[in-house]
């Protein structure tokens, strides 16, 4: 570790402290010395603003967010996490755990925090007999999908293989297998959690069950160092997309919405309006084009898929690539970007969906206010994702029929603020159909916890008071204490 005291002091200037009088008040000299001591103890590294790799260390996947913490700790072992938390508890500095930084926009101000990077804790161990995977805090879904698929198994991942397992599960976890198998959070069997002060506890149904409950969709408390998740058998899986020209969005989306109440839990669908870039790696047939898609994952045979998708196929899609697949195909189905990028992606939960909602959505997407929106998804909910389905979890499910998610990249032509405004304009059009509770993983800005977990917020507060009374661990949506 190299360090300029001036640079470090400058990075700390707006620092405010929490009010435990038994802790050392943060000052430049004491923190400098403490970070030096920490660096000497770590298997990983402490990176400071004066270090040459500072910009790389503090960068989030979401490149539009300029993260400026006091220091970055790159943890290579569970001990590194515990040691960082021990220092934080002693020094009145907060700790923000981060795997990929996909959720960085919801994290807020880091000027009084150490950014704790877990990405090097990326191990994955699958137990094919017990049907579980034990993964380090920094593992992404891509590595779990790949390891589990070798045994015909799958985790309850979301649309993107680049998303971190832990961040996704703590927020709930809505994925292609969700209507049959429920929220990803429900697959948490146990977790190892490092607490302020440095103790590491195991949270499961039988040990620290209150913490386990809070981790299952409520954001939890402390820093997860490892999680064990249940895998599901997906011996027969069919998935793919039906494509139509963008001009047919109205009739396709309305037909899709009418079909939703009749679909069984085995199928999960998304109806999208998509504008593809003019990128050479895309096939000529779709490069630079605008399309309407219905994407589907069906746990079952292609005959079942044929039966369920028949009403949509009557609308004569121009491309139809729905076919039997192996589970790893689910990580690619949504065509999410594989590399870090800057942009805005937000979503709202819809409590109902009718023709008027589709008309409002498409009118907004056609307007100048939404000109930079490249993907606008209506993601089917219901089935085992429904509110009240999951026991022993801070988030028992999602109270809605679908989630609308809009994505606008920040480009040379549009700043991140402009991209966010375009996404907001699209979602505002659905306001009359938007539910009271929102889904954490689709919300990028800080919001009231009650908006995300409803009445469970009081029990979550109690759990956080128990395990992190001084609010040392900073988490997204301002959900520290």
Ligand X SMILES: Cc1cc2nc3c(=O)[nH]c(=O)nc-3n(C[C@H](O)[C@H](O)[C@H](O)COP(=O)(O)OP(=O)(O)OC[C@H]3O[C@@H](n4cnc5c(N)ncnc54)[C@H](O)[C@@H]3O)c2cc1C
Tell me which residues touch ligand X (CB under 6 A): 97-104, 107, 118, 137, 158-160, 163-164, 166-168, 170-175, 223-224, 336, 345, 441, 475-476
How far is the C-alpha of 212 from the C-alpha of 192, rounded, in Å?
10
Helix/strand/coil for 406: strand
Q: Which residue's CB is nearer to ligand X, number 137 or number 360?
A: 137
Comparison of 269 and 441: residue with beta carbon closer to ligand X: 441
Q: Which of 126, 91, 89, 102 has the alpha carbon at shortest distance from 12? A: 91
Q: How far is the CB of 158 from ligand X (least distance, A)?
A: 3
Q: Whose structure tokens read 């959070």?
A: 185
The answer to whether 93 and 73 are in contact (CB under 8 A) is: no
- H or E segment and range at residue 242: strand 237-245
Determine the 3-state secondary structure of 473 from DSSP. strand
Cβ proximity to ligand X: between 218 and 254 the closer is: 218
What's the closest the beta carbon of residue 27 comes to ligand X, in angstroms? 27
Helix axes 28-41 and 78-91, enclosed angle (nearest 10): 160
* Contact between residue 400 and residue 179 where contact means Cβ atoms under 8 Å apart: no
Q: Which is nearer to ligand X, 101 or 240 (CB)?
A: 101
- Closer CB to ligand X, 8 or 401, in the complex: 401
Phi-psi region of 294 (alpha: psi -120 to 50; beta: other; left: phi over 0): beta
Q: Which residue is nearest to ligand X (CB)?
A: 167
SS3 224: strand
Q: Smallest distance from the beta carbon of 306 to ligand X, in angstroms? A: 25
Given a contact cutoff of 8 angstroms between Cβ atoms, the answer to whether 190 and 216 are in contact is no
d(CA 220, CA 464): 8
Q: Shortest distance, CB of residue 190 to ligand X, whole angstroms?
A: 14
- Closest separation between CB of residue 427 and ligand X, Å? 15
Least Å from the CB of residue 476 to ligand X = 4
Q: Angle, to 10 degrees, between the axis of helix 416-428 and the axis of helix 355-366?
A: 150
Nearer to ligand X, 7 or 335 (CB): 335
Least distance in angstroms from the C-beta of 108 to ligand X: 9
Q: Which is nearer to ligand X, 101 or 400 (CB)?
A: 101
Task: Specify the residue, 222 or 317, whose C-beta has the smaller distance to ligand X.
Answer: 222
Task: Number of helices (H) and strands (E) in the chain: give both, helices first.
Answer: 15, 19
Q: How far is the CB of 372 from ligand X (least distance, A)?
A: 17
Least Å from the CB of residue 459 to ligand X:
18
Structure tokens, 447: 């919001």
Of the pair 121, 253, the CB lying nearest ligand X is at: 121
Minimum CB distance to ligand X, residue 175 (Å): 5
Burial category of 151 from C-beta neighbours within 10 Å (exposed 0-12, middle 13-18, buried 19 and up): middle
b vs e for 407-431, b when ≥16 Cβ sit within 10 Å of the residue's Cβ?
A: bbbbeeebebebbbbbbbbbbebbe
Q: What are phi and psi of 22, to 5 degrees?
A: -80, -10
Which of residues 160 and 238 has its CB atom nearest to ligand X in the complex?
160
Cβ atoms 216, 422 nearer than 8 A: no
């Amino acid at each position: 570790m190299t360090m300029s005291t001036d640079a470090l002091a400058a990075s700390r200037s707006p620092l405010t402290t929490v009010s435990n009088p038994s802790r050392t008040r943060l000052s430049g000299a004491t923190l400098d010395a403490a970070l030096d001591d920490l660096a000497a103890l770590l298997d990983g590294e402490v990176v400071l603003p004066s270090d040459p790799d500072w910009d790389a260390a503090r960068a989030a996947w979401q490149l539009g967010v300029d993260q400026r913490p006091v220091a970055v700790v790159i943890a290579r072992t569970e001990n590194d996490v515990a040691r960082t938390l021990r220092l934080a508890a002693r020094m009145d500095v907060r700790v923000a755990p981060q795997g990929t930084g996909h959720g960085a926009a919801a994290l807020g101000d880091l000027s009084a925090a150490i950014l704790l990077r877990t990405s090097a804790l990326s191990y994955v161990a699958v137990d094919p007999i017990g049907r579980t995977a034990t993964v380090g805090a920094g593992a992404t879904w891509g590595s779990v999908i790949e390891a589990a698929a070798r045994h015909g198994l799958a985790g309850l991942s979301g649309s993107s293989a680049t998303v971190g397992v832990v961040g996704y599960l703590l927020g709930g976890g809505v994925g292609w297998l969700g209507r049959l198998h429920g929220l990803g959070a429900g697959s948490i069997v146990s977790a190892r959690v490092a607490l302020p002060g440095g103790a590491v506890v195991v949270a499961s149904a039988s040990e620290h069950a209150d913490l386990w409950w809070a981790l299952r969709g409520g954001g939890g408390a402390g820093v997860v160092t490892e999680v064990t998740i249940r895998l599901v058998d997906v011996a027969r899986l069919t998935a793919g997309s039906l494509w139509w020209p963008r001009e047919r969005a109205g009739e396709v989306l309305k037909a899709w919405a009418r079909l939703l109440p009749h679909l069984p839990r085995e199928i999960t669908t998304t109806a999208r309006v998509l504008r593809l870039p003019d990128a050479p790696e895309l096939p000529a047939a779709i490069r630079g084009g605008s399309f309407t898609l219905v994407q589907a994952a069906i746990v079952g045979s292609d005959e079942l898929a044929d039966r369920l998708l028949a009403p949509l196929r009557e609308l004569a899609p121009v491309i139809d690539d729905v076919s039997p697949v192996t589970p790893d195909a689910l990580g690619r189905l949504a065509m999410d970007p594989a590399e870090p990028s800057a942009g805005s992606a937000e979503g709202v939960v819809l409590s109902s969906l009718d023709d008027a909602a589709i008309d409002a959505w498409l009118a907004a997407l056609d307007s100048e206010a939404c000109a930079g929106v490249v993907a606008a998804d209506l993601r089917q909910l219901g089935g085992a994702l429904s509110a009240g389905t999951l026991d022993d979890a801070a988030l028992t499910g999602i109270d809605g029929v679908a989630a609308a998610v809009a994505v606008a990249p920040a480009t040379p032509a549009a700043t991140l603020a402009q991209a966010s405004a375009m996404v907001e304009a699209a979602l505002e059009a659905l306001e009359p159909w938007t539910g009271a509770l929102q889904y954490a993983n689709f919300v990028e800005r800080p919001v009231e916890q009650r908006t995300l977990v409803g009445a469970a917020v009081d029990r979550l507060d109690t759990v956080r008071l128990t395990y992190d009374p001084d609010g040392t661990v900073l988490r997204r949506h301002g959900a520290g204490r």
